């Protein structure tokens, strides 16, 4: 009996030692005005670490051009209409009109010399009301915009890449290419959710797996709603090298001879090699938000984080919540603020709010 007790105690101690670190907690906002372009500092406990504080690339195109650090830009032009919000004067525009448009590739590519085990990526986009999805197979008269890749992480040589796409049956799919058994999900979430004429946001979290182990992570949010939460994802089977974002935007895999315009707009593209970040959302619970805006960090310490405020399309006087996400993707509860005014008090946490909708591939995680 004594021996059994010792084993039990040892097992309990092992379990406790492997419990994840506590979630970040925002305790205060040290600024009187939370307004676009101003500097803000929040007090926080358990924020995690962020060795390189600024994001890898933040491109809001407000210089009137695209960010110079991209590895490649195939978005056709800077646009001065269709602004995403009142503080934005520029965005990118690409016409996906069949063979007579701006070409099949309307996206950004990260520099290929930066490969990371983790990536957080987001972009805002709008489909014009002239947008028409295709539904035909390759080579058919209705092939244009039937197979559109919307996010891709790339490994040199075309192996073990992440492909995330809209398929001609009107549903989404993603997969890790050339990994067995197949690491994929097909035929989920209708692209009819991508309402034309409205700006909307894609956000992605990616954590590489160990080689040959299904312990990687892939998450996708559309307008704050977590659609994919795969935490048993094998992202590396035979190749040790990490990946980089090859497609941030739309890649039109098939075209046809159509002559009607299909305009795509893109703005506020943010990519980072760490999941650690600060966001502002419209709900105290991160995954219950329907609108979130990423903030631009300038300093990251154990007890406070400073950032440049990005109110995005939040209106002045809007109630909102600040979130801190650590390097493992663990999210804080929201800290209440009013956009354009000073911060409020500490919230108790998300326990008393209505449960968020269940995502399609929930297997744990944040």
Both 177 and 263 in one domain: the answer is yes
pTM reported for the whole predicted model: 0.89
Radius of gyration of the chain (CA): 21
Q: CA 41 to CA 29: how far, in whole Å?
A: 6
The burial class, CB within 10 Å (0-12 / 13-18 / 19+), for 132 is: middle
Q: First CA to last CA across the chain, in angstroms?
A: 40
Q: CA 168 to CA 145: how far, in whole Å?
A: 8
Output the tens digit of pLDDT for each of the chain's 366 residues. Answer: 334 344 343 444 444 444 456 999 999 999 778 999 999 999 999 999 999 999 999 999 999 999 999 999 999 999 999 999 999 999 999 999 987 889 999 999 999 999 999 999 999 999 999 999 999 999 999 999 999 999 999 987 778 999 999 999 999 999 999 999 999 999 999 999 999 999 999 999 999 999 999 999 999 999 999 999 999 999 999 999 999 999 999 999 998 888 899 999 999 999 999 999 999 999 999 999 999 999 999 999 999 999 999 999 998 888 999 999 999 999 999 999 999 865 443 333 333 223 333 344 433 345
Domain boundary among 272, 300, 320: 272
Residue 268 belongs to domain spanning: 57-272
Both 232 and 294 in one domain: the answer is no
Token pair 């358990």 in the structure block, residue:
46
How many domains does one find in the chain? 2
pLDDT at 266: 98
pLDDT at 132: 95
Q: Are 57 and 270 in contact (CB under 8 A)?
A: yes
Both 99 and 136 in one domain: the answer is yes
Residue 126's DSSP bridge partners are: 265
Could you tell me whether strands 39-45 and 200-207 are parallel, antiparallel, or unpaired per DSSP bridges? unpaired
pLDDT at 159: 86
Q: Are 335 and 357 in contact (CB under 8 A)?
A: no
pLDDT at 316: 84
Q: Are 307 and 255 in contact (CB under 8 A)?
A: no
DSSP run (H or E) holding 17: helix 2-17
Q: What is residue 181's DSSP assignment?
A: S
Domain boundary among 219, 251, 272: 272
Both 146 and 198 in one domain: the answer is yes
Both 338 and 214 in one domain: the answer is no
Per-residue three-class SS string for 21-35: CCCCEEEEECCCCCC
pLDDT at 3: 41
CATH number at residue 125: 2.60.120.200
Token pair 């559309």 in the structure block, residue:
222
CATH number at residue 37: 2.60.40.10
pLDDT at 21: 66
In a domain, 360, yes or no: no
Q: CA 297 to CA 148: how far, in whole Å?
A: 32
In a domain, 160, yes or no: yes
């Amino acid at each position: 009996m004594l021996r059994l007790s010792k084993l039990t105690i040892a097992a309990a101690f092992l379990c406790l030692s492997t419990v994840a670190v506590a979630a970040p907690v925002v305790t205060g906002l040290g600024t009187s005005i939370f307004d676009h372009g101003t500097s803000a500092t929040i007090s926080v406990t358990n924020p995690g670490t962020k060795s390189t504080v600024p994001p890898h690339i933040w491109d809001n195109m407000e210089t009137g051009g695209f960010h110079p650090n991209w590895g490649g830009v195939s978005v056709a032009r800077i646009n001065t209409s269709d602004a995403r919000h009142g503080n934005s004067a520029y965005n990118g525009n690409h016409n996906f009109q069949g063979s007579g448009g701006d070409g099949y590739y309307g996206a950004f590519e990260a520099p290929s010399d930066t490969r990371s085990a983790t990536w957080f990526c987001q972009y805002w986009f709008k489909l014009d009301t002239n947008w028409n999805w295709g539904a035909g197979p390759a080579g058919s008269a209705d092939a244009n915009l039937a197979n559109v890749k919307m996010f891709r992480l790339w490994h040199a040589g075309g192996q073990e890449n992440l492909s995330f796409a809209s398929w001609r049956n009107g549903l989404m799919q993603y997969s890790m290419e050339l990994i067995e058994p197949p690491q994929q999900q097909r035929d989920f979430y209708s692209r009819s959710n991508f309402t034309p004429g409205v700006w909307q946001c894609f956000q992605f979290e990616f954590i590489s797996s160990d080689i040959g182990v299904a312990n990687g992570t892939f998450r996708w949010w559309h307008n704050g709603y977590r659609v994919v939460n795969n935490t048993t994802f094998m992202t590396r089977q035979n190749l040790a090298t990490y990946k980089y974002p090859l497609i941030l935007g739309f890649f039109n895999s098939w075209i046809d001879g159509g002559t009607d315009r299909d305009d795509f707009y893109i703005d506020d593209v943010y990519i980072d090699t760490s999941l650690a970040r600060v966001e502002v959302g419209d709900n105290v619970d991160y995954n219950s938000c329907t609108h979130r805006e990423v903030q631009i960090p300038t300093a990251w310490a154990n007890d406070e984080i400073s950032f440049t405020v990005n109110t995005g399309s939040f209106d002045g006087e809007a109630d909102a919540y600040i979130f801190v996400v650590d390097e493992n993707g663990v999210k804080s509860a929201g800290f209440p603020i009013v956009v354009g005014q000073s911060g409020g008090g500490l919230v108790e946490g998300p326990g008393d709010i209505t449960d968020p909708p269940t995502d399609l591939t929930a297997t744990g995680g944040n």
